[in-house]
Amino acid sequence: MSHNTIELNKQRQPLDHLESLWLFGYGSLIYKADFPFIERRPAAIEGWQRRFWQGSHDHRGTPEAPGRVATLIEQPQARCAGMAYHVTPDVFEHLDHREKNGYLRVTTPMHFLDDRTPITTEGIVYIAGPDNDAYLGPASEYDIARHVAVSHGPSGPNSEYVLKLAEALQALDEHDAHVFEIAEHLRHLLSESA
């Protein structure tokens, strides 16, 4: 599959007939909301784990030297916490462009973390699967940190993506061992090279 998913997302999942819907963000969408939203609430989805296995050609790297950004990998016992945004469908014009490097929209059940009795709602999540051309796949947390430490793209240093995500998860009081371990290695690597 080509890594540019703009047209594919439009064809696969037209949204214009809807008045509003929920978007679930688990990566940069947690800490960088550069789109209008009606409301935002911490939320989680089940059966998916966050992994820095997707290459970034357009934000945190280049086609010649891709960075590493988050995607979701199916894992039956896993839970992934993030931020849900209540949005109008026109916002997906911008989001499809922002997430064009391999991410497809998928509809998933999600629940809000600030509800006393969790109610399941549907949310749309952007997932970059192993069949997209920009996919990089697994590596150890240390190797991912070493890769991230030297990557840069039009949106800034790759390290900023990881460290901001780790901070945002901490602020949500959510532990993600994969993200926190990469962030820890990265802090050491960056302080060594300073």
Task: Please state, as a whole number, how many other Cβ atoms lie within 10 Å of the Cβ of residue 4.
Answer: 16
- State the catalytic residue, choosing from 7, 64, 99, 167: 99
**Please, are residues 134 and 57 in contact by the beta-carbon 8 Å criterion?**
yes
From 70, 80, 149, 163, residue interacting with ligand SIN (rule: CB under 6 A): 70
Name the residue with tokens 């916490």. Answer: 81
Beta-sheet pairing, 21-25 with 120-127: parallel
Closer residue to ligand SIN (CB): 93 or 188: 93
How many helices (H) and strands (E) the chain has is answered by: 6, 7
* Minimum separation from the CB atom of position 94 to ligand SIN (A): 12
Query: Does residue 69 bind ligand SIN (CB under 6 A)?
Result: yes
CA angle 73, 75, 77 (to 5 degrees): 145
List, in order, residues 6 or more apart from 185 with CB less than 8 Å away: 141, 142, 145, 146
Q: How many residues bind ligand SIN (CB under 6 A)?
A: 9
To the nearest 5 percent, what fractions of the chain are helix, strand and coil?
Answer: 30, 35, 35
From 15, 25, 81, 136, residue interacting with ligand SIN (rule: CB under 6 A): 25
From 15, 21, 29, 163, residue interacting with ligand SIN (rule: CB under 6 A): 29
Query: Does residue 174 bind ligand SIN (CB under 6 A)?
Result: no
**In the range 95-154, which residues lie near ligand SIN by CB under 6 A?**
99, 126
Query: Does residue 31 bind ligand SIN (CB under 6 A)?
Result: no
Query: Does residue 61 bind ligand SIN (CB under 6 A)?
Result: no
Closer residue to ligand SIN (CB): 70 or 104: 70
Residue nearest to ligand SIN (CB): 27
Using the contact rule CB under 6 A, the part of the chain among 2-10, 11-19, 27-35, 136-144 near ligand SIN is 27-35
Report d(CA 80, CA 144) in Å as an integer: 20
Is residue 87 left, alpha or beta, with left meaning phi > 0 and alpha meaning psi from -120 to 50?
A: beta
99 has catalytic annotation: yes
**Active-site residue list:** 99
- What residues line the site for ligand SIN (CB under 6 A)? 25-29, 69-70, 99, 126
